[in-house]
Amino acid sequence: MPETPFTVELPDGTTHHCYSPSSIVLKYFSTGQTMPASEFLAKSREALNEASERVRKKFGFACTAAMSSLQDIESFCANLSDDAAIKIISI
């Protein structure tokens, strides 16, 4: 279950570093991909919850780092319009 950090760029050029305890995020995102904020948020919720569940199955507890990363994503997406473009700059 390799950790898979990823970095996103917001429309204003700021970047955010995100964390997944699992490579499952590769199923949802790829480097260079651009999507509306609403889609990014939905995929992040699905991917990071799935990653946390993988940790739970393996270690018996959820991954708090994945949930913290999801909270950060929800926070910066709350300040964007649903159609604002978010780009995955590395994964």
For the chain, domain boundaries: 6-90
Please give the pLDDT value at position 38.
Answer: 98
pLDDT-derived band at 62, boundaries 50, 70, 90: confident
pLDDT of 78 above 90:
yes
Q: pTM (2 decimals)?
A: 0.92
1 pLDDT tier (thresholds 50, 70, 90)? low
Average pLDDT of the residues of the chain: 95
Take residue 77 and report the two structure tokens written for it: 């997406």
